[in-house]
Amino acid sequence: MLTLAEIESAAHNVYAAMSPTPQYAWPLLAQRAGCEVWVKHENHTPIGAFKVRGGLNLLAQLVAREPGFAGVVSATRGNHGQSLAYAARRHGVRCRIVVPERNSRGKNAAMRAFGAELVVHGRDFDEAREHASALARTEGLRLVGPFEPELVAGVATYALEFFRAVPDLHTVFVPIGCGSGISGLIAARDVLGLSTRIVGVVATTANAYAQSFRKRERVETTSAVTVADGMAVRVPVDAALDVIWRGAHDVVEVTDSEVEAAMCAYYDDTHQIAEGAGAAPLAALLKSPQREGRRMGLILSGSNVDRDVYARILEGMTWEPGRV
């Protein structure tokens, strides 16, 4: 899928704008989980999420290949859009981002602050994605999908850092939105010749990838409503499914209550803020039956959660869709 040279070339573009993120073994997490736990802190990037790596690599390559192009348009629940906006501003190009109705206020504000022209359209990510495709045709912008080779290569740089810094990881848990994060992890593992198990994590109420993994065929769901908005996808990406089918050990489901408990655990044990998707791997680890005595890895993919949502979760109140 990717070569080591391609990932290291992407790293050159990523590190022109940011430093590698840290990975820590937190003792209280280890006590809670009953095993050695290493956390890759992608919440420490300039946008608070791993997605920035893909945007930085993609825009650097687009500018080099297509000087003077009009700009980019894409759809997002927030972190992908922040990534493109952050990278587009660095290169002085236009960036239009489509978000669904009732999207995270904090993520919307961050995208605008990075320079994105925000368009609100559709009931969920997949409807927003269809509208972004229409805007690309009518406005002459370059449509950026959620799973392009340059995005995956950029994202894979976090995995290369993680595997090189922490040897002999038995299993790494990673959230699945559209699939670039888990695919980058699989790519880095394979080019390094490691045997680490990669386990994808989805929400029970947004489980298209889990169903597709089990049935070995693409399964779309009619809704995808979850506190982990970064995983709220109804329609899997075919290219991502191909990678997951070949390279993932499993795709597991976690409930919203388990995600919320993991968000609280991250705060209690590490004083790190984890958004829903970022906490989902910890939720999956804590219910994994085969973890004792093993060295396990977690991808804390992002920290971008609205304050009111996070405050209610920390207070033990259940998240409710659409509540202000």
Residue 263 domain flag:
yes
Residue where the block lists tokens 């109705």: 101
Instruction: Answer whether residue 248 shows pLDDT above 80.
Output: yes
Question: Is 35 a member of any domain?
Answer: yes
In tens, the pLDDT along 137-149 reads 999 899 999 899 9
Rounded to whole angstroms, the Cα distance separating 122 from 126 reads: 8
**pLDDT tens-digit series, residues 31-46:** 999 999 999 999 999 9
Domain of 43?
A: 4-50+149-314
Contacts of 93 (CB under 8 A, 6+ apart): 59, 63, 69, 70, 71, 72
Residue 318 reports pLDDT greater than 80: no
Task: Give the chain's domain count.
Answer: 2
Residues 134, 210: one domain?
Answer: no
Q: Which amino acid is at 75?
A: A
Last residue of a domain, one of 143, 167, 202: 143
Note whether 162 and 288 are same-domain residues. Answer: yes
For residues 56 and 153, state if they share a domain: no
Residues 296 and 201 in one domain: yes
At residue 322, does pLDDT exceed 90?
no
Query: Is the pLDDT assigned to residue 290 strictly greater than 90?
Result: no
Predicted pLDDT of residue 66: 85
* pLDDT band for position 324 (cuts 50, 70, 90): very low
Q: Taking Cα atoms as reference points, which of 46, 256, 92, 259 lies closest to residue 173?
A: 259
Residue-wise pLDDT for 155-191, tens only, equals: 999 999 999 999 999 999 999 999 999 999 999 999 9
Give the pLDDT band (50/70/90) at residue 319. low
Q: Do 184 and 283 fall into the same domain?
A: yes
Q: Where are the alpha helices (DSSP H) in the chain?
A: 4-15, 27-33, 52-65, 79-91, 105-113, 125-139, 149-165, 180-191, 208-215, 238-247, 256-270, 276-286, 307-314
In a domain, 135, yes or no: yes
| Same-domain status, 218 and 291 | yes
15: which 2 tokens? 């590190």
pTM assigned to the model: 0.93
Q: Are 282 and 259 in contact (CB under 8 A)?
A: no
Q: What is the per-residue pLDDT across 65-92, written as a single tens digit (0 to 9) for each?
A: 988 788 999 999 889 999 999 999 999 9
* 22, 159: one domain: yes
CA separation for the pair 14, 58 (Å, rounded): 10
pLDDT averaged over every residue in the chain: 95
Same domain, yes or no, for 156 and 257? Answer: yes
* 137 & 12 share domain: no
Write the CATH number for 135. 3.40.50.1100
Q: Is residue 89 part of a domain?
A: yes
Does the pLDDT at position 317 exceed 90? no
- Name residue 300's beta-bridge partners: 41
Give the chain's length: 324
For residue 211, being part of any structural domain is answered with: yes
